[in-house]
Amino acid sequence: MSANKGAKLLEVRGLTMDFGGLRAADDVSFELFEGEIVALIGPNGAGKTTVFNCITGIYTPTSGDVIMHPPGLAPRRINGIKANSITRLGMARTFQNIRLFPAMTVLENVMIGRHCRTSTNILDAILRTPRARRETRETIAESHRLLRKVGLADLANEFSANLSYGAQRRLEIARALATAPFVLLLDEPAAGMNPQETQELDELIVRIGAEEKVAILLIEHDMKLVMNISDRIVVMEYGKEIAQGTPREIKENPRVIEAYLGEEAHA
């Protein structure tokens, strides 16, 4: 569980995000390395999701740098780049409040993830050229593979709106994986899951991290899950990053205990 397993993939330096007078993220810095699972934790409203949105291009940070280091390519500063370009570069995410495409089937949801890795244009689609057919075939095969991976293959033709909550969360993960990322961001993947489902999710996250060769950054409130699977943990409070370290270090950090339990814990 050494912190620096491999090459650096994602670097966040002095990230600050203001909403009017409110500073939602204040000088946040951390890094993500190959093969790692890093958790971003903190009380509600600490600015974790804001950091996620800044990294994935949904917001443009007020200041600071977000730098991606695609394997084998030159590093790239991605502040202010459109979200779809960032996904194309190799960073995918899931959402805290599930954002699936409800009127599309489970398989189709995953197929959308392949959009940025395929290139069928309008003319190809109308003429159904060999390239379009091949890409469609590959898209379907790859989507099926990912559905099997998250255990949803049996429900491939069901509308995503009809899935159970836990299954919808897993579908979001499959959809994000379909974009062939090297960094995967999971925003509260265990929210609303029962202990049994959380346990399964725990295994799933570790498994996809290893099998799909993605580094994972996740926001999570379920401490058991976080302590189990994270290599490192970044703690935020009121927009500021207050601690970083291995699960063991974080557990014993007085600043973190204070943030979670309040002042009285000191007394």
Partner 1 sequence: MNHFKRSLGIGLWFMFLTLPLVVVRVNTLSQEVEWRWANMLWVGLAAFAIAWAWRYSIDRRAARQAQGGSQTRPLSARRSWAQRLSDDPILSRRLLMVAALAALAFPWLVSTGQNFYHVNIMVSALIFVVLGLGLNITVGLAGLLDLGYIAFFAVGAYTYALLSKNFDLGFWTCLPLGGIMGMFFGLVLGFPILRLRGDYLAIVTLGFGSITKIVLENSDVLFGGAAGIAGIPRPDLFGLVLDGREKSLYSYYIVLALVALTVFVTNRLKNSRIGWAWMALREDEIACVAMGVDMARTKLSAYALGAFWAGLVGVIFAAHNNFINPDSFTFMDSAMILAMVVLGGMGSILGVIIAALALKLLPEYLRAFAEYRMLVFGAVMVLMMIFRPQGLISGLRRKYEYDVSKGSDDVGK
Q: Which residues bind partner 1 (CB under 8 A)?
A: 56, 58, 82-84, 87-88, 92-93, 95, 99-105, 107-108, 111-118, 120-122, 124-126, 128, 132, 135-136, 139-141, 144-145, 147-151, 153, 155, 157-159, 162, 175-176, 178-179
52 Rama class: left (phi>0) / alpha (psi -120 to 50) / beta: alpha
User: Following DSSP, what letter does each residue of 102-165 receive, concatenated?
Assistant: TTSBHHHHHHHHGGGG----HHHHHHT-HHHHHHHHHHHHHHHHHHHHTT-GGGTTSBGGGS-H
CB of 123 to partner 1, least distance (A): 10
Partners of residue 105 on adjacent β-strands: 159
CB of 173 to partner 1, least distance (A): 12
Which of 99/248 has CB closer to partner 1?
A: 99
Give the phi and the psi of residue 70 in degrees, each rounded to 5: -60, 135
CB of 203 to partner 1, least distance (A): 9
Which of 57/247 has CB closer to partner 1?
A: 57
Contact 108, 101 (CB under 8 A): yes
Which of 159/238 has CB closer to partner 1?
A: 159
Contact 159, 66 (CB under 8 A): no
Q: Which of 233, 92, 86 is nearest to 173 (CA)?
A: 92
CB of 216 to partner 1, least distance (A): 16
Which of 172/231 has CB closer to partner 1?
A: 172
Contact 66, 78 (CB under 8 A): yes
CB of 1 to partner 1, least distance (A): 25
Which of 70/245 has CB closer to partner 1?
A: 70
CB of 249 to partner 1, least distance (A): 32
Q: Which of 178, 186, 174 is nearest to 147 (CA)?
A: 174
Which of 67/112 has CB closer to partner 1?
A: 112
CB of 188 to partner 1, least distance (A): 15
Which of 14/80 has CB closer to partner 1?
A: 80
Query: What crossing angle do the helices spanning 165-177 and 106-113 adopt, rounded to 10°?
Result: 30
